[in-house]
């Protein structure tokens, strides 16, 4: 029989049975009084504690039936305390049985899938043999194709070398045109290094690609930056500022105007970083610079400066031009400024009408 823990100070195990005499003095598990031989009492088959039938509200007819020898070994009686535990145990057993049924169902389903997988594997094995035969044919043809590709690659390298030479010549012509329109030789786009040798074609192509990538960008200096510690809030603030700036220049296109807005450099509280704005088209950028004077009437944009997004080579060239402008002013030749698009920056004397 099952054993349970005692649920109270008055509940104790007794080495007795409900039909024989009590081997020692017992206490009722409910009222706590001594259970005498003359008392009508029964012991629980689980906790083996004695109870008066009145305390357990056991009908006398049942008690008399339990005294019958025919009920010995057939009838079991549980006290009210143990009945609760037995009910829970019954639920657990039912749950385990249900889980076993579900497990068997899943196992049968899995066995069915395994059998199908075996059949599929056998079919695939036959297909693989056929594929191996075809692969042999394809490998033979691939040798022929590789020979053709190698020949084409040699021809392509020849074309690339010619293209690089043409691009280098184009850059050289642009530099010469710039030089003829400017006041000094600093406007020329250099194509020779310090040794006098032409620069590698790869570097020139890389420079052209970088200029193409930056052609729709502008950089705004002095734009106030949100002090929010959250990056997403700072980004939304910058997007709103950039959109208002562009609209102030009269650009209200229905299409997407701004592709992205980012700050250059590491965020430092209280210090505004340059703002890079990538516009969707070159026309929008051209209209912005055309109407940039509109910003002077708005207090919000009076202290900012807008410039092109220059490559490293263009920034170096820009620095040389401004240094030359300073030298001209120091030598008494008047004030000069740098004007023109990034690919054709030049010096212009202030106060002199451009032809």
Spans of all domains in the chain: 223-303
Name the more confident of 176 and 28. 28
The pLDDT of residue 146: 76
Instruction: State mean pLDDT over 218-242.
Output: 90
Under the banding of pLDDT at 50, 70 and 90, the label for residue 76 is: confident
d(CA 206, CA 326): 31
d(CA 5, CA 27): 17
Q: Which residue has the tokens 């006398």?
A: 60
The pLDDT of residue 136: 81
Query: Are residues 338 and 349 in contact, defined by beta-carbon separation less than 8 angstroms?
Result: no
Instruction: State mean pLDDT over 340-352.
Output: 78
Under the banding of pLDDT at 50, 70 and 90, the label for residue 273 is: very high
Pick the range with the lowest mean pLDDT from 134-138, 157-161, 203-207, 300-304: 157-161
d(CA 281, CA 278): 9
User: In degrees rounded to 5, what are phi and psi of residue 348?
Assistant: -135, 135
Under the banding of pLDDT at 50, 70 and 90, the label for residue 100 is: confident
Q: Which range, 152-166, 167-181, 295-309, has the best average confidence (pLDDT)?
A: 295-309
**DSSP character string of 248-284:** HTT---SS--EEEEEE-S--BTTBPPPEEEEES-HHH
pTM metric for this prediction: 0.42
Name the more confident of 25 and 79. 79
d(CA 14, CA 34): 13
Counting DSSP H helices and E strands in the chain, the numbers are 6, 10
β partners of residue 42: 51
The pLDDT of residue 45: 84
d(CA 66, CA 72): 8
Pick the range with the lowest mean pLDDT from 43-52, 115-124, 254-263, 330-339: 254-263
Instruction: State mean pLDDT over 48-75.
Output: 83
């Amino acid at each position: 029989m099952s054993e349970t823990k005692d649920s109270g100070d008055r509940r104790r195990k007794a080495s007795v049975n409900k039909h024989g005499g009590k081997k020692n003095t017992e206490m009722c598990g409910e009222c706590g009084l001594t259970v005498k031989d003359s008392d009508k009492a029964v012991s629980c088959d689980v906790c083996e504690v004695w109870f008066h039938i009145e305390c357990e509200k056991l009908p006398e007819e049942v008690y008399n039936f339990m005294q019958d020898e025919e009920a010995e070994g057939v009838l079991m009686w549980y006290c009210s305390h143990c009945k609760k535990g037995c009910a829970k145990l019954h639920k657990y057993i039912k749950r385990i049985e249900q889980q076993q049924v579900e497990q068997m169902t899943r196992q049968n389903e899995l066995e069915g899938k395994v059998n199908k997988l075996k059949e599929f594997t056998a079919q695939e094995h036959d297909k693989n043999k056929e594929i191996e035969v075809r692969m042999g044919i394809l490998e033979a043809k691939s040798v022929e194709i590789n020979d053709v590709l190698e020949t084409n690659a040699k021809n392509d390298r020849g074309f690339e070398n010619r293209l690089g030479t043409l691009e280098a010549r184009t850059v050289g012509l642009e530099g010469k045109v710039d030089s003829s329109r400017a006041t000094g030789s600093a406007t020329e786009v250099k194509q020779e290094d310090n040794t006098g040798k032409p620069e590698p074609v790869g570097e020139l192509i890389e420079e052209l690609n970088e200029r193409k990538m930056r052609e729709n960008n502008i950089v705004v200096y002095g734009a106030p930056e949100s002090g929010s510690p959250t990056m997403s809030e700072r980004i939304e603030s910058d997007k709103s500022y950039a959109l208002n700036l562009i609209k102030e220049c009269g650009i209200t296109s229905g299409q997407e105007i701004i592709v992205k807005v980012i700050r250059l450099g590491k965020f430092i509280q209280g210090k505004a970083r340059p703002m890079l704005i990538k516009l969707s088209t070159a026309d929008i950028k051209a209209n912005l610079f055309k109407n940039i004077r509109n910003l002077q009437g708005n207090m919000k944009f009076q202290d900012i400066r807008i410039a092109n997004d220059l490559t490293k080579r263009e920034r170096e060239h820009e620095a040389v031009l401004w240094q030359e402008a300073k030298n001209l002013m120091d030598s008494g030749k008047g004030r000069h400024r740098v004007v023109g698009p990034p690919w054709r920056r030049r010096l212009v004397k202030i106060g002199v009408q451009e032809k």
